[in-house]
Amino acid sequence: MKLKSAFLGFNAAQLIVITSALPTDIRQNIPRGTTYADDMFNTAIEWNDGFWDDEAGYLIAAASNPGRYDTRHSGWYATQLLARNGPGDVARAVRIFDNVISGQYLDTSWQWYGDYQQSPSEPLPGTHEYVNGGPYSSWDPNIRDFVGCAWLVALNDHSHLLPKATVTKIEKSLHTAAKGDLYRVGGVDGDNLYPCYSNPWLMRTVLQNWVGTRLGDKNLTQASEKFAQEFYDLWSQHRTLSEFNSPTYTGVAMWALSLWSQYASEDSLLKKYAPEVLTATWNEVSQLYNANLKNLAGPWDRTYGYNMKKYTSLIGAVIWGAVGRENAPIPQKTSGMYHGDDFAFYPLFALGMPEMLKYLSEEAKSKLIKFPGDHFFTTQAYSPPFDTYARNITTWMSENITIGAETVAEQVVGGPAESTSAFSPAVIQWAIDDYQIGCVSHWVTESSIHAVASNNSLYISYPNATSTDGPISFNFFFSGLDIRHNFNVTGLEALPNLSLEVKTNAADNYTIVYDTDQTVNDFIFYNITYTMPEVFTGEPYVSLRVI
């Protein structure tokens, strides 16, 4: 993208005039959208270029399985290459389409029918070699959606660059992916794709719509209308995504919604609902974002880290596209980012940015640049069938400290994704100094948690403490003191530049452990644990107050 604009030497305003006068096929190869999106596209695709293995014809993964060939990243990259269309890019993309499609599962009797393998090295799902043969281990059911949505963009916008045979091959592959996606029914065969699983649900919906429309398969378009309505019925109860305030997945949801808005068929429910949901999501993000700390305040239904300036999130991409890299909650160094793999996704966010930005108000945008002042944010979010009732969310935002919490009662520990490392229902973040961000996150051990944030305080209790693997405890993880400045962390009441007062009916002899062999989401942390005595009255609670 950069190559071409530099070559043509136009500024953005001239470009708009000139591109509209060009024939469509040429216009598509000229940078669209804002300069921020172009900057993001170029930076991230060049980063991807560095992971390309030309012998194998795949991208290698960066962070989670470094060195292993990665189907999903390669699938994303193919679309990006077509959008850039530099020397050799199209040929490289064609190789990826061939390689990834050769790893698609074609037997209609398989639960993973239509999915793409995670990596070309792995044995067939369901075979005896696997220690764990279930979904998200031997196959990742969401890859159909991640690759499928990237490829619908490729076909819709760039198929004129591809040989006819390749176009037909991709269409056939996407048809298979969409039909296989319909095998997914939450609660059946261990599948977890309910409407509350916002990010893949939103992607599947547009995959069904686009493929169904392109190939004239009414089964798929009808499914997409049903999925869109089911999503909207749930969303409109509280006007929040069920995967609430997730630094990574709110980004995926916004990207998918931009596809609803841009690529879905004219008369579809997707086209109808996307603007309203995107607008509301931007507004929510802008209220929960603290531009001083460059972080989304808690609570996080699903997180992959504790400081967005240290790890790659996808809200980071959304904000980069809106207000530029300098203002974005991203690691400023692209080497050594925690959770760095998702950087491979950034160029697709850049391509979706013009559509996404249509729904960002000036007011919301200004909050992404300048913190608007102390405020509360309260709402609810609901994830049936996991939640017994809607979760109550309370967040207090101030200049240098944010406190976010949610009350939850579920049958499982760790939120609907059942992930204790991701589900963070009570979080305090603050500025340790001008660049370090401290985070105290409550580590979940219970399925029922009452957690409320208010002005300068956080209250957590267990209304239905049922923990059976040991005593009832409150575990807090502190991370963020990356440069010690000769400070000793000795407990919640001895944190750098955050003065807390602790009240609890737990025993006051808490433990504190810093284990160099253990990280959570790549972050190293102090584990500060308060344990309930064997005999106590009332609900177990811990109350923290900033003093």
Ligand X SMILES: *[C@@H]1O[C@H](CO)[C@@H](O)[C@H](O)[C@H]1NC(C)=O
For ligand X, the binding residues (CB under 6 A) are: 217, 219, 374-376, 388-389, 392, 399-400, 407, 409, 431-434, 443, 448, 455, 464, 466, 475, 485-488, 496-497, 507, 509, 511, 513, 527, 529
| Helix extents (H) in 191-340 | 198-215, 218-238, 249-263, 269-288, 315-323
- Least Å from the CB of residue 452 to ligand X: 8
Instruction: Output the smallest distance, CB 107 to ligand X, in A.
Output: 16
How near is the Cβ of 487 to ligand X at its closest, in Å? Answer: 4
Q: How far is the CB of 471 from ligand X (least distance, A)?
A: 9
Compute CA 153 distance to the chain's CA centroid, rounded to the nearest angstrom: 19
Distances (CA, A) of 382 to 196, 229, 248, 414: 8, 16, 19, 15
Q: Is 119 helix (H, G, I), strand (E, B) or coil?
A: coil
Smaller CB separation from ligand X, 258 or 290? 290
What is d(CA 320, CA 201) in angstroms, rounded to the nearest whole number?
25
Q: How many CB atoms lie within 10 A of CB 537?
A: 5
Give the chain's count of helices (H) and strands (E): 15, 17
Nearer to ligand X, 236 or 455 (CB): 455
Closest approach of ligand X to the CB of residue 534, in Å: 9
Alpha-carbon span 475 to 462, nearest angstrom: 13
- Which is closer to ligand X, CB of 54 or CB of 517? 517
Could you tell me if 314 and 257 are in contact, meaning their C-beta atoms sit under 8 angstroms apart? Answer: no
Q: Smaller CB distance to ligand X: residue 262 or 424?
A: 424
Angstrom distance (rounded) from CA 334 to CA 342:
11
Q: Which C-beta is closer to ligand X: that of 32 or that of 442?
A: 442
Residue 443 bridge partners (DSSP): 475
User: DSSP secondary structure string, 8-59?
Assistant: HT--HHHHHHHHHHS-HHHHTTS--S-HHHHHHHHHHHHHHHTTEETTTTEE
Task: Kindly give the interhelix angle for 89-102 and 71-84, rounded to the nearest 10 degrees.
Answer: 150
Residue closer to ligand X by CB (options 358, 485) is 485
The residue (of 72 and 175) whose beta carbon lies closer to ligand X is 175
Minimum CB separation of residue 375 from ligand X in Å reads 6
Smallest distance from ligand X to CB 251, Å:
26
Instruction: Quote the least distance from Cβ 523 to ligand X, whole Å.
Output: 12
The residue (of 155 and 506) whose beta carbon lies closer to ligand X is: 506
